[in-house]
Amino acid sequence: MTGNLKDRPTDTAPKGWVKILGLGPGDETMVTAQVQEVIAEATDVVGYIPYVKRIPERPGLTLHATDNRVEVERATHALEMAAQGKRVAVVSSGDPGVFAMASAVFEALELADQPNWLELDIQVLPGITAMLAASARIGAPMGHDFAAINLSDNLKPWSLIEKRLRLAGEAGFAMGFYNPRSKSRPHQFARALEILREACGGETLISFARDVSKPGETITTVTLNEATEEMADMRTVVIVGNKDTRRIGPHVYTPRYARDEG
């Protein structure tokens, strides 16, 4: 190695990074090769406990598993470690940009107000999101225009969720619902179904996809009139078609065309 000695400390200073990645819906064959490479290069993994559990332990790798409700703290910790030269993988399930850690990292970056953190190498690596993994199992219910809506009111008022459901239904979007129903809010999903029946019509198809790509996966398709709130829980992603969504044999699909019904 040649070069000015004075330059050495910067040349050899460990180069930290934060890579925010998605582990897909569950099955290991649905983790991208790019994500596997990043996990192999990381010194630290940060994320919600069940997602960090999916990362195999190895010497030189520190796992930091935290509870789900502290996303911005977790993200700040990741940025701090990267500033110290560590190679930090922030893990989410599915895709990190869909109701997950990618936005939390950028929120943390903004809140921290640390100008030197803006120079950090921060990258987002995509994964297969639950809605699209479920759609693929069902057929092609998202074959035309669609909206993805988080039904949890942790970070937004329920009134806004109702408005978005109604308007998306009236506009003829197919829809994918994340976090549809939890123990802390067992009855809001029944209200969501009521709004959807009004906005989309009771004969519209709705699919409940639970534990997609995991052992015990179940997929059930019924009409909105037949749907009940118990059909959904936090391990379910719910897919609602539009007026043209139909069955063909065991498959459900939405055609690529639509009429303007005014």
d(CA 87, CA 78): 9
DSSP 3-state of 91: strand
- How distant, in Å, are the alpha carbons of 19, 142, 144, 251 from that of 173? 33, 9, 8, 19
Element spanning 255, H or E: none
Query: Is residue 261 a contact partner of residue 254, using CB atoms and an 8 Å limit?
Result: no
Report the residue number, 199 or 237, with the smaller CB distance to ligand SAH. 237
Report the residue number, 16 or 210, with the smaller CB distance to ligand SAH. 210
Of all residues in the shown chain, the one whose CB is closest to ligand SAH is 94
Minimum Å gap between C-beta 233 and ligand SAH is 8
Q: Which residues bind ligand SAH (CB under 6 A)?
A: 25-26, 92-95, 98-100, 129-130, 178-180, 209-214, 234-237
Report the residue number, 200 or 212, with the smaller CB distance to ligand SAH. 212
Element spanning 8, H or E: helix 8-12
Residue 9's contacts (CB-CB under 8 Å, 6 or more residues apart) are: none
Minimum Å gap between C-beta 117 and ligand SAH is 24
| Residue recorded with tokens 């996303």 | 71
Minimum Å gap between C-beta 181 and ligand SAH is 9
Minimum Å gap between C-beta 38 and ligand SAH is 17
Minimum Å gap between C-beta 14 and ligand SAH is 30
Minimum Å gap between C-beta 134 and ligand SAH is 6
Query: Is residue 136 a contact partner of residue 187, using CB atoms and an 8 Å limit?
Result: no
Report the residue number, 185 or 235, with the smaller CB distance to ligand SAH. 235
Report the residue number, 88 or 98, with the smaller CB distance to ligand SAH. 98
Report the residue number, 179 or 204, with the smaller CB distance to ligand SAH. 179
* Antiparallel, parallel or unpaired: β 205-210 and 236-240: antiparallel
Minimum Å gap between C-beta 213 and ligand SAH is 6
Helical pair 71-83 and 101-112, crossing angle rounded to 10 deg: 70
Minimum Å gap between C-beta 133 and ligand SAH is 7
Report the residue number, 173 or 208, with the smaller CB distance to ligand SAH. 208
User: What long-range pairs does 220-229 form, CB within 8 A, spacing at least 24?
Assistant: 221/138, 221/247, 221/252, 224/193, 224/196, 224/197, 224/200, 225/197, 227/193, 228/190, 228/193, 229/181, 229/186, 229/187, 229/189, 229/190, 229/193
Report the residue number, 100 or 174, with the smaller CB distance to ligand SAH. 100
